[in-house]
Amino acid sequence: MSVIVFLLFVFLTTTTTGTVTASTLLPSCKAKCGDVDIPYPFGIGDGCYAKEYGDFRINCWGNSAAFLSDSVYEIVDISVTGELRIKGSTGFDCYDRSGERTYYFPSVNLSNLPFTFSHTRNKFVVIGCDTNAYIWDQYDTRYSGGCMSYCESLDSFKGMPNGSSCSGLGCCDVSIPRGIKSYITGITTYYSYKYSMDFNHCGFIFLAQQGQYTFSVSDLNSTRLELQTRPIVLDWSIGGQTCEEAKKNRTVPYACRSDNSECIESNNAVGYLCNCSKGYQGNPYLPRGCQDINECDRSPNVCPSNATCDNTRGGYDCKCQSGYRLNINFPGGCEGLGSGLLVLLSASAFTCWGCQRRKLADQRKKVAEFRQRTFEHNGGPLLQQYTSSHPGNTFRIFTEEDLAKATSGFADDQIIGRGGHGVVYLGRMEDDTLVAIKKSKMMDERESKEFAREMAILSQINHVNVVKILGCCVEVEVPMLVYEFVPGGTLFDVIHRRNERAPISLEVSLRIATEVADALAYLHSYASPPILHKDVKTSNILLDENYRAKISDFGASCFAPVDETEIATVVQGTCGYLDPEYLQTYQFSEKSDVYSFGVVLVELLTRRKPLHLQGPVDERGLAVSFVSLLSQGKLEKILDAQLLAEGDAERVREIGELAGRCLSVKGADRPSMKEVSMALHLLRSSDEHPWIPQHTPEEVERLLDREQATAYDSADVVNSYLCRKNHTILEIEAGR
């Protein structure tokens, strides 16, 4: 008898498994290619894939390797839940001791296929000791990113075990944004690995599934890393409609064809996906593709020991024999029924109701305690004391509910900007004032302790060319900042997207540059303590309706260090704007902001982006190209044709010379922002007095260091700049 029962069990188990497997395929279609299972809507050959929803065709080469459609992208595996993995290649940039260069920069283009790169499962990884790597959308300039990996010697890794995070020392990684369908990559170096040839002569890059690479110091001297392939995760979806739109569409049939399936929105692109309902498994894209899961067979212990498991469609029941009832808190699970059953049930119901009330009250108490802890941890009491002691100050402490209400619950359609330090939302306050709300990604312990003091100082900055901070929310783990909303977009958009708006003249460009210089000079010399921006670039310069410039995004900013030996652990900033001296010494100074401003000034003069990785190697860095042509007296070769056509060649040349001084390799050779501001005022055609700082008496009263102010002689600064400027011209004419 036991043998018969065993054979019957094997037959039923085999039948059930076979049904589930078959339900993921179309009849008469090939189920596998090599080791890769091919579930519908994917398929090999005409009639085997869902052509009406996109190109889900699989090319099975030699019956051993599966490729996406007619592409060269080999498939690792396919999931019916909306993911697919392909093999990705590793890029490299190598130099031998003679200076000979070999390189390969990988790229992938999925523009004509229903796939996007997963923004939650992939990382762009960079390995090397002098490696600046970039990744950007091949056909849409809305995305470009990357990071820099740096190390001076292998001694830098002493005490650090293999498997350390890729934080910038020898290895760095960054996430990619949502919805990217193609990318190209590139690598640049500052020293061509010649200073690290003994332990690192190659830089490596790859986009790969997160967790597929663990950094090892030995990889810095690898000669085989470029031969390795790692999987890239792709998200796929059906069509270009939402679930509701797809259900109403009469032209294209609804893809969720199984009776026990449900529609979910894609998390990475337009379109939707289908899932089997809870308690079912299989392929929701096929009729009867979702089959009931027999939980009783799959998990024998799903019910208590004295109860019997009864499988139902989409679920299961645990039943007790007659005269008993299920009680999971009773030994064995089945409890005998007595005469006091009604009283017991009533008491149980009352107890449960009381437990739920206490649980809800406990949850509310925990939320309130958490908010109070974070409020105190982030310096809320200090900010409250500050605002109450400064009645005229407009700085406000917001609650999380205030900002959630202003942004419709931080809805995606309220996002107006993304950066390395967080996401910016457009908010509408109760009085209809529009604000920009910055939700930062992270904050370390040191920053958290200093947050309240820094807010108190930043709230006093009231410069016309600095975005005004209106308040903050400190009852959340990472404080949120509230700024005034500037509606005119960024300087980057104005310079580099001229097909969308009229080009700006030399006069307007010079005025914008002057206003930015004024703001930086104010932060460097008038704020007490001085403030270093640390991420000056055209995308952090906002413009109002009248093209008035306002510096924004102080996410990377810091106060000028009192101890000049203070060294950063990780280089922060944007490639193309980074001070080369900062990259070598890890010491950021006000002259580092000057260098970044010099790049902005060159962008205004040339209308070119700071990095152009598709051009010749010696022309990829805008700053280097500009300084080289300036030193050769061939500035007109790089200047914008429109500015040259305006006919003010002498003034353009003087602006170019000022930019060249800002871009000096050594920080000591660069002018201060005060000197730059004065020089730009002198170059403008207006009648304003250049040596009068553009600040209100209230600003100076609050932030100006009085001893520094009395010692600050504007005429001396102007004369100092003019003398240095003339000296620079003599050096160029002498051929130095």
Query: What token pair was written down for 443?
Result: 């904050």
Burial class of 688 by CB neighbour count within 10 A (0 to 12, 13 to 18, 19+): exposed
Longest Cα–Cα distance of the chain, Å, equals: 111
Query: What token pair was written down for 106?
Result: 């990988």
Query: What token pair was written down for 514?
Result: 């002057």
Query: What token pair was written down for 598?
Result: 């010099």
Three-state DSSP at 629 gives helix
The label of the residue with tokens 């044709």 reads 641
Query: What token pair was written down for 285?
Result: 């894209």
Whether 278 has a binding-site annotation, put simply, is: no
State how far Cα 712 lies from the chain centre: 42
The full length of the chain comes to 736
b/e map of 6-23 (b: 16 or more CB within 10 Å)? eeeeeeeeeebeeebebb
Residue 535 designated active-site:
yes
CB 89 within 8 A of CB 177: no
Measured CA to CA in angstroms, residue 640 lies from 229, 496, 625, 636, 701 at distances of 43, 12, 14, 8, 42
Query: Residue 403, CB half-sphere, CA atoms under 13 Å: how many?
Result: 26
Q: How many whole angstroms separate alpha carbon 440 and alpha carbon 669?
A: 36
Contacts of residue 218, Cβ cutoff 8 Å, sequence gap at least 6: 162
Is the four-CA dihedral 15, 19, 21, 22 of positive or negative sign?
positive
**How many other CB atoms sit within 10 Å of the CB of residue 532?**
23
Measured CA to CA in angstroms, residue 22 lies from 242, 286, 291, 301 at distances of 29, 10, 10, 28
Q: How many whole angstroms separate alpha carbon 69 and alpha carbon 53?
A: 14
Q: How many whole angstroms separate alpha carbon 633 and alpha carbon 652?
A: 13
- Choosing from 535, 579, 593, 640, the catalytic residue is 535
Q: How many whole angstroms separate alpha carbon 605 and alpha carbon 509?
A: 8
**Local structure of residue 155 (DSSP, 8 states):** G
- Containing H/E element for 405? helix 400-406
Q: Across-strand partners of 645?
A: none
Query: What token pair was written down for 610?
Result: 């700071």
Q: Are strands 541-543 and 549-551 parallel, antiparallel or unpaired?
A: antiparallel
Q: How many whole angstroms separate alpha carbon 573 and alpha carbon 579?
A: 9
Nearest to 646, CA basis, from 494, 504, 500: 504
The label of the residue with tokens 């052509």 reads 51
Q: How many whole angstroms separate alpha carbon 558 and alpha carbon 535?
A: 11
Query: What token pair was written down for 255?
Result: 């893809």
Q: How many whole angstroms separate alpha carbon 411 and alpha carbon 91?
A: 37
CB 210 within 8 A of CB 124: no
Please, which contacts does 451-456 make with residues 24 or more away whose CB atoms are closer than 8 Å?
Answer: 451/378, 451/379, 451/479, 452/378, 452/379, 452/380, 452/382, 452/383, 452/386, 453/379, 453/382, 454/559, 455/379, 455/383, 455/395, 456/382, 456/383, 456/386
**Local structure of residue 167 (DSSP, 8 states):** B
Catalytic residue numbers read 535
Which residues are known binding-site members? Answer: 439
Which amino acids are annotated as binding site for ATP, given as ranges? Answer: 439
